[in-house]
Structure 1
Amino acid sequence: MRYLISARVRPGKRAELLTALEDGSFGAGFPYGDLGAVLRRGRVDASGAIRWVEVCYCRESYGVAMEEELPYLEAYLTDIVVADARSPARCEGYPACNDCDCTRKVRFEGKPLVEHLRRTVAESGEVSGAGRPTRWLGWRGRVTPEEAGRNRASGRNPE
């Protein structure tokens, strides 16, 4: 499945994230590709939200999208929102999704993530904070029972 992901950098983590993306250590140990390369393609909009497309098969295996990626992302990002890029009924899933071009027309507004981080990392005034938990949106609000349970447990029901 392909997902439209949005997130924000955790307060106080910009410099660490920039270093991890530049030195290649972001996602070290993740067995299914280069998470850093995918995140580096993200764009940062005027509100500070990072948006990118992620290919993931966790929902097919665990019932929860991005299950294996989240520990790597949540170390640096908060306010993560996971939405299906298209109807799951029209997605062939693994392995067809890997080479599918269903998101080829998706273009996010904003600056490239690394460029944004380089510009803002020198700015002062970052305040540390815990951030907010991940939220699953699914396709038009339809999520798996596992994702719905996690949304309820965190108090982050789809809006």
Structure 2
Amino acid sequence: MMNFSLLGDVRGGSSQTRLFRYQSIEGSQMLDFSLYPQPGGWELMDEERRVAGHYLPVRQALLEKLLQQGASEVSSDNESLSGTADGHYIARGRLVADGAQPRQQWLLLTTHEQLFVRATLTSPGDLPAAATRNTIDLALQQFLQALTRNTGDNGVQQPGQ
């Protein structure tokens, strides 16, 4: 990943989740990619509906986590659902947390084969939204390209290395 170093990746036990954690070279931003299977039966829905239907519960869980971490107020903006040139859908939005340490967290959600791909970028609150959006958009594009190259036997090698 451009301007990010892989800190490590973790496979969940029975949850079948895999997390890749990156940190920006200067250390102020954290970038996480989570891969996990779609629930049974969801493959019968079109991709737009799967992504849109899963985005809101994921966003709500992130919002609650920010509040539990001490944010006095959390607002959301920049939310959208859009198609890509290759026919996939990406839901995105930004959560802005006020408190002792103001921060923003971008959430992007899409699919890859039968997996959900969730990307989150946590940045200081004073960084411009456009810059952080560009960062996570590019990172997701690079991650998905690496994932496509490296997917095999239902496992994922380490994208970005």
TM-score under structure 1 normalisation? 0.30
With a CA cutoff of 8 Å and minimum separation of 6, indicate the structure with the bigger relative contact order.
1
Higher strand share: 2
TM-score (norm 2): 0.30
